[in-house]
Amino acid sequence: MSGLKLDHIYKIYPSGVQAVTDFTMEIEDKEFIVFVGPSGCGKSTTLRMIAGLEEISDGDLYIDNIRMNDIQPKDRDIAMVFQNYALYPHMTVYDNMAFGLKLRKMPRAEIDARVKEAARILGLETYLQRKPKALSGGQRQRVALGRAIVREPKVFLLDEPLSNLDAKLRAQMRTEITKLHHRLATTFIYVTHDQIEAMTMGTRICVLKDGIIQQVDAPQKLYDYPANLFVAGFIGTPQMNFFDAVLTGTKDKVYVEFENHKLLYPKAKSSKIINLDDYLNTGKPVVIGIRPEDFHDDEMFISNSKETVVEVNVEVVERLGAETLLYCVFGEQEELEEGVIKSLVETNTQMIAKVDARSNTQAHQKVTLGVDILHSHLFDKETELSILEGEGTKAYVPVVELERLQKLEEEKAEKERIKAEKEAAKLAAKEAKANKNKVDGE
């Protein structure tokens, strides 16, 4: 059993950079957890704190219920694989894999058995006597994995292990690492900035931004129920389309209005809106999120969804073979004087639709697209959190986020109090003046 518990962990570098804030997560034995997020979001720092290569500023780290904060890296029973392989160039593949075990003074026969078993699992048996320079990038990465495997650690930590490989090899190694995880049945923690790697490999994914957890969930859950705008935009390619919108209508018939369009928001969705009264006909801004794949240009779909269509102008069509991308703008296409060529930077595509490869839609065409509104997402523009029950509510909302929201609420209440005070003072002054005039008049 090798579960991990990260309990309110913080990392503040001596320079003052707060790289990780209130990281709280439990990782079960044999899980394949992926930390994903843009560069600088604190993924490697968190991994390095688990490995013991970086001190934990605050909070507690447990592996198998034992507090690890003050335990030396070599005594944590973990193995780490880095992006740059970190192989010894003068040693053979065999010696590279055996080196760590020799240092630990393991009996020679045991080392030999472990190295050969790792080589068998990784398909490196015929390369054992080669030096790293005579290996391909993928083979080198496998040796780096082998060096971790022979240690038989409780936890594997992998820091962007595939980013030095070309796209094809990366895809191949991705499936190899997933297979390795199944075979070894050990806990894996994998760091990447690549959402495709995260989606394909992780049993659960932890999305990070600015050192703060945004959501922890299974890959499909992240895609189907993003907790906030950041996760919605980060998971999925091309990115989800976002439109500033307001909600109008009645409780029984809610409309979502954006870009001069008014779409019927079906009861199945509107009944899930948290605090609908705050938004309905109040002008409180929301953001509707629609994934490119949830727009359709086929007749059948459009005729079945008359109240949920948009009219757009197609600027560019990209035929990718298996699917077609439409880069579209709302409103009329600008009429240019004859002979005037529009600047490239002026084309501001407002949305992307991913339609069937057999679509006949052409560039510079005005088209109607049907929206699969049941799969759309709704966020509060101010808090950026999902306002659909079962999306935002289920997700992990970090303590700091709650504090920020609470602070926003307090600030709002304070502003309202000041406004009310000012109005009361104005009213009192008006009354006093009226009374004075009355007295003067008498």
Judged by DSSP in three states, 379 sits in strand
Compute the distance between CA of residue 343 and CA of residue 427 in angstroms, rounded to an integer. Answer: 56
Binding mask 11-50 for ligand ADP (x = CB under 6 A): --x-x-x-x-----------------x-xxxxxxx-----
DSSP 71: S
CA distance 428 to 422: 10
Taking a C-beta distance cutoff of 8 angstroms, is the pair 370, 308 a contact?
yes
Q: What number of H helices and E strands is found in the chain?
A: 12, 20
Site for ligand ADP in 44-83 (CB under 6 A): 44-45
Least Å distance, CB 179 to ligand ADP, is 26
Q: Which is nearer to ligand ADP, 44 or 313 (CB)?
A: 44
The tokens describing 338, both together, are 């004859």
Residues 228, 193 contacting (CB under 8 angstroms):
no
Told to check if 141 binds ligand ADP by CB under 6 A, we report: no
List 166's β-bridge partners, or say none.
none
Q: To the nearest whole angstrom, how small is the minimum distance from the Cβ of residue 165 to ligand ADP?
A: 18
Comparison of 207 and 246: residue with beta carbon closer to ligand ADP = 207
Tokens of 392: 């935002």
- For residue 277, give both structure tokens: 């009264």
Shortest CB 188 distance to ligand ADP, Å: 17
SS3 assignment, position 340: coil
Please say which residue, 49 or 312, places its beta carbon nearer to ligand ADP.
Answer: 49
Order of strands across the sheet that contains 187-192: 78-81, 155-159, 187-192, 32-36, 204-209, 212-217
C-alpha count within 13 angstroms, C-beta hemisphere, residue 59: 22
Nearer to ligand ADP, 15 or 260 (CB): 15
Shortest Å distance, C-beta 73 to ligand ADP: 16
Q: Which stretch binds ligand ADP (CB under 6 A): 10-18, 250-258, 287-295, 330-338?
A: 10-18
Residue nearer to ligand ADP on the CB measure, 13 or 88: 13
Tell me the Ramachandran region of residue 339: left when phi exceeds 0, alpha when psi lies from -120 to 50, beta otherwise: left
The first and second tokens of residue 5, run together, are: 């518990």
For the chain, state the CA radius of gyration: 29
- In angstroms, what is the minimal distance from the CB of 190 to ligand ADP? 12
From CA 118, how far away is CA 264, in angstroms rounded? 58
Bridging pattern class, strands 241-249 and 286-290 = antiparallel
Provide the minimum distance between the beta carbon of 44 and ligand ADP in the complex, in angstroms, as a whole number.
3
Pick the piece of the chain touching ligand ADP (CB under 6 A) from 9-17, 241-249, 320-328, 396-404.
9-17
Q: CB 226 → ligand ADP: shortest distance, Å?
A: 20
Residue number, 196 or 274, with CB nearest to ligand ADP: 196
Closer residue to ligand ADP in complex, CB, 15/348? 15
Asked whether the beta carbons of 189 and 158 are under 8 A apart, the reply is yes
Cβ proximity to ligand ADP: between 19 and 212 the closer is 19
Nearest residue (CB) to ligand ADP, 209 versus 262: 209
For the chain, the first-to-last Cα distance in angstroms comes to 92
Name the minimum Å distance from CB 8 to ligand ADP: 18
Cβ proximity to ligand ADP, 43 vs 204, nearer residue: 43
Return contacts of 278-282, CB within 8 angstroms, 24+ apart.
279/246, 279/247, 279/387, 280/247, 280/248, 280/249, 280/250, 280/251, 280/254, 281/247, 281/248, 281/249
Q: Name 335's bridge partners.
A: none
Nearer to ligand ADP, 101 or 191 (CB): 191
Least separation in angstroms between CB 39 and ligand ADP: 4
We find the least distance from the C-beta atom of residue 42 to ligand ADP, in angstroms, to be 4
CB of 365 to ligand ADP, least distance (A): 42
State the number of binding residues for ligand ADP (CB under 6 A): 12
Contacts to ligand ADP by CB under 6 A: 13, 15, 17, 19, 37, 39-45
